[in-house]
Amino acid sequence: MITDLICTWPRNCDYPLWRQMIRDNRPRFNEVIVAFHETNQGEDYREFVKQAMFSDYIHFVQPPVPVGIEDWRNVSVNASLLHSYNAPWVMFTEQDFYPSYGFWENVEELENGGCEVIAAYQGPRMHPCCIFVKREVLNKTSKNFGIVPDKLDHFGLFQKEILELGVKVGKVDDNKYHHLNGLSHNWSLASQGQQPNYEVAEFITWLIKCLELGVPIDQRFVGVAMR
């Protein structure tokens, strides 16, 4: 599978473990496109992340500021797609998603089985932590990745349009990846000196793993993690 990778990045967060995952798997991707977005809180890690990932050949994007009722994620993803045009597949992901043993083989098996969309699911939801989509299918959608207030979460409308197209969708085996729900929110709380409130033990384990890595670590991150 030749795929571009797209993710959005809150500027007040860093994800050393995810950066290590990208470094370890960089040959698997064509373009890796990261779109920073404003959070109006906390530290600004953008320049550090750019420097830390320089050798990983990452395309960093600064999307336009959403106007009015525009959805920040929809704006960020579409700004990223302007820089993705060669690879036959696009992978949308999040920094709390970590492939496990056998993940890539599972994806390849689903691709070889004729799937044109491959995703991790959370209940009935095609979760944006991991969605692979063929570009020719992507281009048939409205490319609206925002929420529908009181109805659909991010990528919900995209999933609805995918299902209406009738293409074959493959589900990634649940035991082939690990998804750390609540990671960015926990980090934001910890950065503000507050107590993380979701799967705290798992979050602490993540912090410990981050501090043990070989990729560069910002001292601001270390200061929060060591509290």
Q: Which band of pLDDT confidence, cut at 50, 70 and 90, is reported for residue 205?
A: very high
pLDDT for the residue numbered 103: 98
Average pLDDT over residues 146-162: 94
In this prediction, residue 197 carries a pLDDT of 87
The model's confidence at residue 214, banded by pLDDT at 50, 70 and 90, is: confident
| Tens of pLDDT, residues 45-73 | 999 999 999 999 999 999 999 998 999 99
Quick count: other Cβ atoms within 10 Å of Cβ 163? 12
pTM: 0.96
Mean pLDDT of the chain: 96
User: Tens digit of pLDDT for each residue in 89-125?
Assistant: 999 999 999 999 999 999 999 999 999 999 999 999 9
- Say if CB 182 and CB 97 are below 8 A apart: no
Copy the structure tokens of residue 179.
Answer: 């998804």
- Give the CA distances from residue 51 to residues 34, 54, 150, in Å, rounded to whole numbers and listed in that order: 13, 5, 39
Q: Would you state the pLDDT for residue 42?
A: 87
